[in-house]
């Protein structure tokens, strides 16, 4: 018998490719400006400064194939990203062991209310309101490393209505997967179920209702999302 005041919500889960099991999500860490050409398009110096992270809410995970245009924004952007899924956690994880913590990879979209994010940046306030909102983390199935290996290079791109808008290579990431895991684990205790959204290449832009987004990462499948 439970003494919970009300029932806990269903956990956010993500399908695992070629498996009946699902991946339960604990936290979603997102790195900012991890591709030099995107840092430049956002008006920043691409030099390797220490990484910075923000979080989305676990229940922002969206596996529906649809992205409802969010409230309170006139400028919602797509950011196509490789997502790293962890099945082991820890504190102060050394670089050499960091990849052992990776269960697999997925394609994800870091949907962003850019106008709200920009206002908050200008005022020196937290920009969570621009990043962590309902349905803001569309994601594909997770591809376990025993099916796809570790992804260190390869094409990452996003088409909108069939037209290529974002393109880069995973090897352009300023902070690599082991570095992100090791760095995060100095500040947080990582745990199984944590996701890391690894940043977006150049070409981010605004969406409209009716747009069909089609992300691709070499070695993984596709992520197709309709804006509704
Ligand atoms: Mn992002």
Q: What is the DSSP string of 13-50?
A: EEEBTT-S-EEE---EEEESS-BHHHHHHTT---S-PP
CA 110 to ligand 1 center in whole angstroms: 5
Return d(Cα 221, Cα 198) in angstroms, integer: 17
Instruction: State how far the alpha carbon of 35 is from the alpha carbons of 46, 81, 82, 152, 215, in Å.
Output: 8, 11, 12, 14, 17
What does the pLDDT read at residue 1? 63
Q: Give the residue carrying structure tokens 């196509």.
A: 80
Q: Output the CA 5–ligand 1 centroid distance in Å.
A: 36
| Residue 16 pLDDT level (bands cut at 50, 70, 90) | very high
From ligand 1's centre to the CA of 17, what distance in Å?
24
pLDDT for 36 equals 85
Please say whether the beta carbons of 69 and 75 come within 8 A: no
Q: Model-level pTM?
A: 0.96
pLDDT at 47 over 80: no
> From CA 3, how far away is CA 207, in angstroms rounded?
45
Give the Å distance between the CA of 22 and the centre of ligand 1: 24
pLDDT band at residue 14 under the 50/70/90 scheme:
very high
Q: Please give the pLDDT value at position 42.
A: 82
Local structure of 170: helix, strand or coil:
helix
Dist. CA 162 → ligand 1 center (Å): 22
Strands 222-227 and 66-67: parallel
Please state, rounded to an integer, the average pLDDT across all residues of the chain. 96
The alpha carbon of 131 and the centre of ligand 1 are apart by a number of angstroms equal to 9
The yes-or-no verdict on residue 160 having pLDDT over 90 is yes
Tokens coding 118: 């920009």
Model confidence at 48, pLDDT cuts 50, 70, 90, reads confident
Ligand 1: distance of its center to the CA of 18 in Å?
27
What's residue 38's pLDDT? Answer: 80
> Distance, CA 42 to ligand 1 centroid (Å)?
12
pLDDT at 40: 83
Decide if domain 13-227 falls under CATH 3.40.50.300: no
CB 139 within 8 Å of CB 62: yes
Mean pLDDT of 173-195: 97
**What is the whole-number distance in angstroms between the Cα of residue 96 and the centre of ligand 1?**
26
SS3 172: helix
Question: Which pLDDT belongs to residue 170?
Answer: 96
Q: What is the mean pLDDT of residues 206-215?
A: 98
Residue with the bigger pLDDT between 43 and 227: it is 227
pLDDT at 215 over 90: yes
Q: How far is the CA of 88 from the centre of ligand 1 (A)?
A: 23
Residue 147 Cα to ligand 1 middle (Å): 26
For the chain, percent of residues with pLDDT exceeding 70:
99
């Amino acid at each position: 018998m439970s003494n919970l005041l009300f029932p806990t919500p269903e956990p956010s889960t993500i399908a695992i490719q070629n498996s009946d099991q699902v991946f339960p999500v604990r936290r979603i860490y997102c790195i900012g400006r991890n591709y030099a050409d995107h840092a430049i398009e956002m008006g920043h110096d691409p030099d390797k400064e220490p990484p910075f992270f923000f979080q989305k809410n676990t229940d922002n995970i969206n596996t529906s194939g649809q992205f409802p245009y969010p409230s309170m924004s006139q400028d919602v952007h797509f950011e196509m990203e490789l997502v790293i899924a962890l099945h082991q956690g820890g504190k102060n994880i050394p670089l050499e062991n960091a990849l052992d913590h990776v269960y697999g990879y997925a394609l994800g979209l870091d949907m962003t209310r850019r106008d709200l994010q920009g206002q908050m940046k200008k005022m020196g306030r937290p920009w969570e309101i621009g990043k962590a909102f309902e349905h803001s983390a569309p994601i594909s199935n997770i591809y376990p490393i025993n099916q796809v290996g570790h992804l260190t290079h390869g094409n990452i791109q996003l088409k909108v209505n069939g037209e290529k808008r974002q393109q880069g290579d995973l090897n352009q990431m300023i902070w690599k997967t082991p570095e992100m895991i090791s760095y995060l684990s100095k500040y947080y205790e990582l745990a199984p179920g944590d996701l890391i959204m690894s940043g977006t290449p150049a070409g981010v832009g605004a969406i409209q209702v009716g747009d069909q987004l089609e992300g691709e990462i070499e070695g993984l499948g596709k992520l197709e999302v309709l804006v509704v």
